[in-house]
Structure 1
């Protein structure tokens, strides 16, 4: 398992609170910040093709706004593992180095086929 990973994105109109329905300002929406933090946690996991991970708990504090065009880097670091449970410290910075978000994300490693087999498809 990789211990850390980061992803970098440029804020677009589609990433704003307006577009995501989480507010009425043209700034990076918290749901997108969370998605980028989760993307970094997934990148930090080196899983075989039979395994995947699912998010189980999120605690994110969105500390500062980011305008369209800002470059945001979200980083995740493993801080604890317990069997299939993996806890990550996450932090996001803008291109000026300002901390814009921080928190913790928990993921559980699952067997892909078994996990999907437990779900009932809508319409079946």
Structure 2
């Protein structure tokens, strides 16, 4: 079972328009809770969900701006640093979403990739 505890940065798309979000999840067994802050007028939401294997599903409920719950489903990557899927509000609205772990791990990952690219470039020039 994947572990989604921690901080995530993500994007969801509605009508081909991206919205960035920050999420913080705490997982216990298969269940997790958390909060999401959208980078638009919708603001903060609470989250309750489940992780089964590499599958994730959760319900997002905005605190102030909207009473309609948003259902998210998706898949978590093997190394548990990326997830993606679909969201919907009933049958009327839907779109795709993705999220990556936030924090020092992303910086370390970027530095590792840059070092590998530099080594490849150097070895090709020799």
Largest Rg, 1 or 2: 2
Higher helix share: 1
TM-score, normalized by the shorter chain, greater than 0.5: no
TM-score (norm 2): 0.32
